[in-house]
Amino acid sequence: MTKLAAAVLVLWTVTAWGQAPALAPPAGQSATPSFVTIKPQEEPGVRKAKELLNKMIQALGGQAYLGLQDMEQSGRTYSFFHGDPTGAGAPFWDFWKWPEMERVELLKSRSWVIINNGDKGYETTFRGTVAEEKDALDDYLRRRHYSLQQVLRKWLNQPGTIFFYEGQVAAERKAAEQVSILNAQNEGLTLYIDQNTFLPIKKTFEWRDATHYRTQEAEIYDNYRLIQGIMTPFSVTRQKDSMPTNQRFINEVKYNQNLPDSMFEATLTKPAAEPAKRK
């Protein structure tokens, strides 16, 4: 695999879709449905955090967002090394199916394919199909675990999940409300929610490697458009420790296309032999 190809490879779980004014609710319905349960006796900070999360989900598309079954998108992706771009980027086509299937095709020929299905990963090139490198697979699975779809659909009403309202802040030069979520496994995530649109501007989470070194990862969402009732960012930037690692510019998005499971299947044709690391 060429260095140029390795430089432009991008593969990440579907992260988030959305920022724009929320759609008006149908007549007779509350402006902010309760996607996360608010209890009368809860402390003001907890109630505030949950209220903001409910507004955010509604602005993203409400039940249409939470009920997404699949997505396909295409555009151009750019990678960075130590904060500097590594090349001219590459076209990509991304196919995702809830809850744990994703396929990314890269290059104009679409001949470089990465498939993730459950806890398995595969890489296909003109040389054949191999198992994905462990570090690259671990990186992908971590991002998927902390993706907005996973967090908003699985974490919010689980027993033991804790919510924190952390005040008004500036995020990406926008006025934001900061909300943090901590699940029963002591895994945390912080959201920066636009004060005007109630949609996510930025998402961050932290993790430690085997040496206990702490890494903070972030995703930043911009250039939002309404697609099939879902607020969709057409620009997504990924960071590690405040340094950009990847940026996607999306040209087209389609939701709920009934993608077949066969798209996310792969058969190994040879033993793993130095698959490229994701950038």
pLDDT for residue 1 = 46
pLDDT for residue 31 = 58
Specify the higher pLDDT residue, 195 or 271.
195
The per-residue pLDDT for range 75-84, each reduced to its tens digit, is 999 998 888 8
| Cα–Cα distance for residue pair 151/145, rounded to 1 Å | 8
Alpha helices (runs of H) in the chain, residue ranges in sequence order: 3-8, 44-60, 63-66, 134-145, 148-150
Task: Please report which confidence band the pLDDT of residue 271 belongs to, taking 50, 70 and 90 as the band edges.
Answer: low
Q: What is the dihedral of CA 204, 209, 213, 219, to 10 degrees?
A: -20
Residue 135 CB coordination number (10 Å): 11
pLDDT for residue 277 = 52
For residue 254, is it left (φ>0), alpha (ψ between -120 and 50) or beta?
A: beta
pLDDT for residue 83 = 81
pLDDT for residue 28 = 40
- On average, the pLDDT of the chain sits at 88
pLDDT for residue 50 = 97
Task: Please report which confidence band the pLDDT of residue 274 belongs to, taking 50, 70 and 90 as the band edges.
Answer: low
Task: Please report which confidence band the pLDDT of residue 209 belongs to, taking 50, 70 and 90 as the band edges.
Answer: confident
Q: Could you tell me what percent of the chain has a pLDDT over 90?
A: 78
Task: Give 276's DSSP letter.
Answer: P
| Cα–Cα distance for residue pair 61/121, rounded to 1 Å | 30
Contact between 14 and 153 under an 8 Å Cβ cutoff? The reply is no
The per-residue pLDDT for range 34-63, each reduced to its tens digit, is 899 999 899 999 999 999 999 999 999 999
Task: Please report which confidence band the pLDDT of residue 201 belongs to, taking 50, 70 and 90 as the band edges.
Answer: very high
Set out the domains of the chain in order of their start, with CATH numbers: 3-21+42-264 (2.50.20.10)
